[in-house]
Amino acid sequence: MVFGLPLATNPAYLERKYRISNMPQIHPKTTPIYQTSVFTFEDLNALEHYFEQPGQSYMYTRYSNPNSDELAEQVNALEGGAGAVVTSSGMSAILAAILTLCKAGDHVLCAEEIYGGSSTLLSKELTRIGIEVTFVPPASIYSLQPFVQPNTRLLLVETMSNPLLQVTDIKRLALETKKQEIKLVVDNTFASPIITKPLALEADMAIHSVTKYLSGHSDVTAGVVVCRHPDDLQRVQQVMMVYGLNLSPFESWLAARGLKTLRLRMRQHSSNALAIAGFLQAHPKVEQVWYPGLESHPHHTLAKEQGQGMFGGMMSFRIKDDREAVNRFMQALRHIPFAPSLAGVSTSVSYPLGTSHRSLKPEQQQTMGITAGVIRLSVGIEEPEELIADLEQALAEV
């Protein structure tokens, strides 16, 4: 009712409807933000059309929205998949991927060297709903037979591990998972599809924390699952809808905007990181540097081949194993903030022992080599000389 009259007969409503229907066609260069929770239908026939031909129209933003669809299509084009589904965070993307392939009573393999949040999700939460988890040490990652059970469904790995940048040979691992008749799910967050395309190397799913490089400006929280097989894609969509893992229209729009500069940003991230890694490797107060672009890195050749000559913007380095020395270093930085995330256009440092891998047991941290002196560095796109100068004066305080 408007002004006491039914909409169908209200003159003001009819006049407005006429004006809108007779407006000239609008062709925006940038997709508008469809900031709505629900879409309307003309009648019951239109509703039936929605269910009979999925994807032709919209009903409810938890199911789909033009902005989230645009983002999914763009990421899928970069990864070369059968389709993608965007989610509310990187963690919800991992959850959606696992729930797509697993149910209670199934078994999951996970690389031992992985983001602490992923490890916690598997070991603390998915085990509560009846999914078994086994962590595979690096030395055994290409020989899975001792770890595979009749109910094993997938292996979860990272293209480059967080935080010590160990590089996974995805093609080799895909051959092994096919041999064991399980799916390979690759977290490609550290690399981005500009550097590595896991699906082209025969992985079954690629996942990203869109929060990081894909969006790139530290102002969005989002995730995405990209599938090589259409059957998996349909199931991911179902999980996203039913569990309410959808991404909002505004954040979808922001992420799609950030994605437009991904290629340019990754080149600058990689170029800056290589220069800084060389500086840190030569510094007397730095005991070790983990960056695949350095020839001293054990996986340098693999990273060069798999990464098309780029190595990304992430690295870690170790000063002496003294928490107070790390604190002095961070306090002395003038332009590089301590921020427990990564991959923004601005450089930042993080402390894995106190943030990303805090929830792991001390023996797990030690096994992975995450000691008190390890600092993770997310290299931005600033002038590399300015970053090196800031690092140099801060290291003088160690």
Active site residues: 62, 115, 187, 212
Q: Say how far apart CA 248 and CA 62 lie, in whole Å.
A: 8
Sheet strand arrangement including 152-158? 83-87, 223-227, 205-209, 183-187, 152-158, 107-111, 132-136
Q: Which residues pair with 374 in a beta bridge?
A: 318
DSSP-assigned letters across all residues of 48-80: HHHHHSTTSS--BTTT--HHHHHHHHHHHHHHT
Beta strands 223-227 and 288-290, pairing class: unpaired
Do the beta carbons of residue 226 and residue 84 sit within 8 Å? Answer: yes
Phi first, then psi, for residue 143 (nearest 5°) are -135, 80
Do the beta carbons of residue 106 and residue 292 sit within 8 Å? Answer: no
DSSP state for residue 24 in the 8-state scheme:
P
Q: Say how far apart CA 246 and CA 222 lie, in whole Å.
A: 9
Do the beta carbons of residue 220 and residue 254 sit within 8 Å? Answer: yes
Q: Say how far apart CA 334 and CA 59 lie, in whole Å.
A: 50
SS3 164: coil
Sign of CA dihedral 269, 274, 278, 281: positive
Q: Say how far apart CA 32 and CA 397 lie, in whole Å.
A: 50
